[in-house]
Amino acid sequence: MPDDARPTKWPAGFAEGREDRSALLVLSCLRGLTPRKLLEMAARERSAAACLAAVRGGRAGSDADREFAGELDPARIEAALSACGARFVPADSQEYPATLDELADPPAALFVLGRALPVPGAAVAVVGSRSCTDFGRDLARDIGEGLATRGVCVVSGAARGIDAAAHEGALAAGGHTAAVLGCGIDQAYPPGSRALLARIAREGTVVSEYAPGVPAEPFRFPARNRIIAGLGRALVVVEGAKGSGSLISAEHSLDLGREVFAVPGAVHNPLADAPHALIREGATLIRGVSDLLADLGRSGGRDGEPPPVRLDVTLAEQAALDRITGSVLPEKVAREMGLSVPQVIPLLMGLEMKGLVRSVGGRFEPRSRRG
């Protein structure tokens, strides 16, 4: 199929029914079935169940895929998903980020731990070297904290170095951060990030396109970089050697029309190679968090005080927020608004993602914000 003829959208109702969702759980575990291949198959078969039948019947996928698909039990995958506390978010569900639809090969589904994923325009990706300098680590932490203080979700990959520092900065600010994995949602990888990932799962969001049990393999990490880029309205590169994976993330961001920022370094520093290459190709040079916030329109107010967070609360969200004067159940908010609980839950999740409320034991209560 020519590149310009490749489908880029999942068919309507692709994973709508129970059978299709179960099939998609199995499809998400197959090593040889890339999102692009599955997307092309979906354009022909129209449903996840039909795609799985094609794989099991030998009409699509590899022999290894066919054998593995025959062995997998979706009930066991669902049990593993429940055991790790994650939820399944197919491409046609309300929580699935619309920005990922802009990818040439959007994931058919996501597996999510923790808070709802950031809404479009409310996130910035921060990436860089694993073997970073102390300066780079401190700068990434400052950037993560500065963004989170101003209501921006910090997206990265939870690797050691720049990724971890950006996540830590956002958490220190009491803000939202999202870690994108290159392995199954139940896998703590890299092992050195186990404690960080556990904290992000409690206070932020952990997301993967891979089902529980899928191991970390080298080819999965370049693939996950497109999701990092897709979730952010912009991407920041802090240190990276020649051939760095950060360049892959930057390419995805540019393909999506996102703005790319890069921090320069000393010309003799190998870790400045990737940022310098990006700047030569048109990325915006920033010297630190102040430059970034100014370029994003979120710079500090008078006397260096952070500005009010631009929350972009919808009228419906404001109506829900007005009814959360203490610890309340979603049913109470729904009753007072004259809506059903399924209609109110997305509003409450949106308010939680924006840091205005928090969920405690199934109830929602007001939450104070920094800045």
Average pLDDT per 10 consecutive residues for the chain, totaling 371 residues: 65 92 95 92 96 95 94 95 95 91 95 92 95 94 95 96 97 96 93 95 96 92 95 97 93 96 93 96 94 84 40 72 85 86 85 80 70 36
Check if the beta carbon of residue 110 is closer than 8 Å to that of residue 118. Answer: no
What pLDDT, on a 0 to 100 scale, did the predictor assign at position 308? 42
Each residue's pLDDT tens digit, 140-188: 999 999 999 999 999 999 999 999 999 999 999 999 999 999 999 999 8
What pLDDT, on a 0 to 100 scale, did the predictor assign at position 310? 41
Residue 316 tokens read as 């419906």
Buried b (16+ CB within 10 A) or exposed e, 171-194: bebbbbbbbbbbbbbbbbbbeebe
State the first-to-last Cα distance of the chain, in angstroms, to the nearest integer: 51
What pLDDT, on a 0 to 100 scale, did the predictor assign at position 304? 40
Residue with tokens 């912009």: 234
What pLDDT, on a 0 to 100 scale, did the predictor assign at position 365? 86
What pLDDT, on a 0 to 100 scale, did the predictor assign at position 338? 80
All domains of the chain in start order, with CATH: 3-72 (no CATH), 123-304 (3.40.50.450), 315-366 (1.10.10.10)
What pLDDT, on a 0 to 100 scale, did the predictor assign at position 44? 94
Q: Phi, psi at residue 54, to the nearest 5°?
A: -65, -40
Determine the distance from the C-alpha atom of residue 90 to the mean position of all C-alpha atoms in its chain, rounded to a whole number: 14
What pLDDT, on a 0 to 100 scale, did the predictor assign at position 370? 36
What pLDDT, on a 0 to 100 scale, did the predictor assign at position 246? 94
d(CA 366, CA 355): 9
